[in-house]
Amino acid sequence: MSEPVVLPVVVDAPQHAGLSATLDYRCHLPLPAGSLVQVPLGRRSVPGVVWHRRLGEPAESPQLRSVEAAMPSLPPLGAAWMQLVEFCAGYYQRSVGEVALSVLPPELRKLDDAQIARRLERLKRSAEVPDAAAAPALPELTDEQAAAVEQLAALPAGATQPILLQGVTGSGKTEVYLRSAARALQQGRQVLVLVPEINLTPQLEARFAERFAGRRLVSLHSALTPAQRLRHWLLAHLGLADLVLGTRLAVFASMPRLGLIVVDEEHDPSFKQQEGARYSARDLAVYRGRVESLPVLLGSATPSLESWSHAEQGRYRRLRLTQRIGGGALPVVRMLDMGALPRPAGGAAPSVLAPALQQAVEQRIERGEQSLLLLNRRGYAPVLFCGACGWKSGCPHCSAWRVFHKADRTLRCHHCGFTERVPRACPECGNLDIAPIGRGTERLQEQIAQLLPTARVARIDADSTRAKGSLQAQLTAVHAGEVDVLVGTQMIAKGHDFRRITLVAAVNPDGALFSSDFRAPERLFGLLMQSAGRAGRDASRVGASESPSEMWIQTFHPRHPLFEALKAHDYPAFAAGELKERQNAAMPPFSFQALVRAEARTQEVAQGFLNAASAAARQGMPGRAGFEEAMARITLYGAVPMTVQRVANVERAQMLVESDSRMALQRFLAAWQEILRETRALPLHKGLIRWAIDVDPLTI
Ligand code: ADP
Ligand code: ZN
Ligand code: ZN
């Protein structure tokens, strides 16, 4: 037997554990970096990955323990993969081992080497390429598409400048993805396509599968069974899959021949992971492209302002598609000034649809066309109210109202899930007359059915699609023309190719114009542009060519610049205005932010912890090189309760950290972690339940 070697290994232990980033283990096999191993940690046996270098100081340990098991049959993970994981851990302030192990398929841990070896054999044997069906006829590219494809093809090998493809809905962005993918495949490379939500985008998967019938395509997302996920991951890792289509976790897919990354709908917030390592898969894709010297194609009709400003500064190359395929017109946007409507007599509540909008919907129904009504709030009513005593349907465990769901007559908390049957009478005073206030999609559906008694009204939102397959069934009904009016949340705005919808209306979008969340206008604009994009995708087929499709906005602020830009379908104008405001206010992307969140039984404890850690940072960190300089460029705000400050009886507080320099913020956070850990360990803060850092938070 050969001399034992010492291997640095990362294990699945959170950063808070205070372990050094790699631990040393003795091993009789000279396992290469990227090998999976099983090692002892305390009294447990945990999975680990042999790392390519030692990170940090070696842990003090009188005697080295030995690797318990290895998986030499599995080809090791590549250097680029390890670099991506290391970057993610550093940037989002987690431990390398935690990130590494959390992005590998969990099933992998359950297998020993012999099992893996058999698995791989079977995969390789079964991995004959599917029959190359006759190559599908390719559509002739439009001039704009051709220009975009050419520019992409002309990129010198190894060029790493990300490409931002901004194209209005229906402009044929997907065709540009397909052509770029074809090129990469031809060159013997693998292609990774990231999409925001896989069950909303079966159409994209179908288009890729159809175009590349002779290639192996696998998907990677959280809806797969553990066995499927392992199988797909292995196919990618072995290089047997040519295309990987997946949600944010797929950015970590191990792909030895990767040659192109596409991020579709790059602005979508679901690319940001909201727990554990809170990474942005879009940003990691860009980093991965740089490390592996390959092009990253970011596509959207309404790019994130971060990406757009990168393009403005020339850091991203910008390509634009300004025309809809087939010259289809973008919908005409009409403002309905709700302030100018006459008030109904006798103090009656105004109708949910302004008369002109109602008429327009009725006309569509007569013509056999469909309308889509958008309301970004699910449930029947956001709160129940007793007019006699002022009782409201609060959640006993959260600082939030419980939403009234009429279909099953429940009051449901959308934060902690606490659900009860609706009381018959006010629980405080016994008044029988408790009433819903406000309107969610359920109520909108009911009101529309009353308003338009002959119409077939359907609803699509998170509640109506909970059962497996129900979304697909409902979409099929819409496509088949069995629905006249479709009511829904932002869920229906994403990606679906509705062919018969010629009218889209936003019932009540004003809230986002004056939200305390500075990203709310950006999200609203994206949502409205996307929803508008659902209309008139095939106007010719419904014979409505003489009357272009329409988007209606019911608003009290018809002259708001956001709506002006929407009317003109002018994303660049919207972005310019919004970026100017952000710049004046020194908001991202002109500054860099992180949030530290703390949870405890009381606000006092949660805020006390944050403020103590902040005070400790101000006192400096002697011996930490560069800390003082970084600190000088940091603004630490005071601890405040989160917007929904109590969830499931846990009080939540947060502290904003801001800097004009990303580097300074990174340096500061890395050093501050230690302070946060030390502060946490003080008896004074033992009531703290947990804390976590969110870098580049999407909501504040
Ligand atoms: P986007 O992704 O920009 O919203 P799509 O790629 O979905 O747009 O294209 C819209 C429609 O136009 C699709 O049905 C697609 O098949 C079709 N299409 C795309 N490019 C062409 C083309 N060059 N010629 C004909 N049809 C095209
Ligand atoms: Zn009451
Ligand atoms: Zn609750």
DSSP string for 426-457: -TTT--S-EEEES--HHHHHHHHHHHSTTS-E
- Lookup: tokens for 98: 């935690």
pLDDT at 539: 46
* Mutate which of 138, 145, 175, 210 for ligand 1 pocket (most atoms within 8 A of beta carbon): 175
544: pLDDT confidence band, cut at 50, 70 and 90? very low
8 A C-beta contact, residue 372 and residue 534: yes
At 14, which amino acid appears?
P
Ligand number, closest to the Cα atom of 137: 1
**Bond from prior residue into 589 cis (ω within 30 degrees of 0):** yes
Model confidence pLDDT, tens digit, residues 344-382: 777 777 789 999 999 999 999 999 999 999 999 999 999
Q: Which two tokens stand for residue 452?
A: 């338009």
pLDDT at 468: 81
Query: Residue 352 contacts by C-beta under 8 Å, 6 or more apart in sequence?
Result: 439, 444, 447, 448, 451, 507
Token representation of residue 454: 């002959």
Write the residue with the smallest CA distance to atom 17 of ligand 1: 172
Structure confidence at residue 53 (pLDDT): 85
Q: What is the pLDDT of residues 236-269, one digit of tens each?
A: 999 999 999 999 999 999 999 999 999 999 999 9
250-260: b or e for each residue (b if 16 or more CB lie within 10 Å)?
A: bbbbbbeebbb
Give the Å distance between the CA of 409 and the centre of ligand 3. Answer: 17
Q: How confident is the model at residue 447 (pLDDT cuts 50, 70, 90)?
A: very high
Q: In this prediction, what percent of the chain has a pLDDT beyond 90? A: 73
Neighbours of 204 (CB within 10 A): 19
Give 699 or 88, the one with higher predicted confidence: 88
CA dist 73 and 47 (Å) reads: 16
Ligand whose nearest atom lies closest to the CA of 394: 3
Quote the mean pLDDT of the chain. 91
pLDDT (average), residues 671-681: 91
Residue-wise pLDDT for 465-497, tens only, equals 888 888 888 888 888 899 999 999 988 887 677
Pairing of the two strands 332-337 and 550-555: parallel
Q: Is 511 a pocket residue for ligand 1 (Cβ < 6 Å)?
A: no
Closest CA to 195 of 221, 229, 156: 221
- Going by pLDDT thresholds of 50, 70 and 90, the confidence category of residue 17 is low
Amino acid symbol at 583: Q
Nearest atom (ligand 1) to Cα of 174:
6
- pTM recorded for the entire structure: 0.92
Residue 16 pLDDT greater than 60, yes or no: no
- CB of 291 closer than 6 angstroms to any ligand 1 atom: no
- Asked if pLDDT for residue 133 goes beyond 70, the answer is no
Region 50-67: mean pLDDT is 82
Identify the pLDDT of residue 457: 96
| Cβ of 12 less than 6 Å from ligand 1 | no
Residue 19 has pLDDT above 80, yes or no: no
* Per-residue pLDDT tens over the stretch 604-655: 999 999 999 999 998 877 667 677 888 889 999 999 999 899 999 999 999 9
**Cα–Cα distances in angstroms (integers) from residue 693 to residues 130, 274, 595, 651, in the given order:** 45, 11, 6, 17
Query: Which of 400, 468, 312 lies closest to 645, judged by CA?
Result: 400
How many contiguous H segments (helices) and E segments (strands) does the chain have? 18, 28
> Please, are residues 654 and 597 in contact by the beta-carbon 8 Å criterion?
yes
Residue tagged 């990955």 (tokens):
49
**Ligand 1 pocket, 171 CB below 6 A?**
yes
The answer to whether the CB of 530 is under 6 A from ligand 1 is: no
CA distance 331 to 567: 9
pLDDT at residue 661, as a whole number: 95
More confident residue, 15 or 407: 407
- 390 CA to middle of ligand 1, Å? 54
Minimal-distance CA residue to ligand 1 atom 19: 172
CA dist., res. 599 & res. 692, Å (int): 9
Residue with tokens 């029988």: 432
CA 327 vs CA 87, 166, 572, 665, 668: distances in Å = 44, 17, 20, 47, 52
Q: Whose CA is nearest to atom 6 of ligand 1?
A: 172
- Alpha helices by DSSP H, 619-685: 627-632, 662-681
Residue 157 CB neighbour total at 10 angstroms = 9
Q: Which atom of ligand 1 is nearest to the CA of 264?
A: 2
The pLDDT assigned to 57 comes to: 73
CA 182–ligand 1 middle distance (angstroms): 16
Q: Ligand 1 pocket, 302 CB below 6 A? A: no
Between the CA of 415 and the centroid of ligand 3 the distance, in Å, is 5
- Residue 324 CB–ligand 1 contact under 6 Å: no
Q: Is 495 in the pocket of ligand 1 (CB under 6 A)?
A: no
H or E, element range at 263: strand 258-264
The total of other beta-carbon atoms located within 10 Å of residue 401's CB is 21
Q: What is the mean pLDDT of residues 109-119?
A: 93
Query: Predicted confidence band at 559 (pLDDT cuts at 50, 70, 90)?
Result: very high
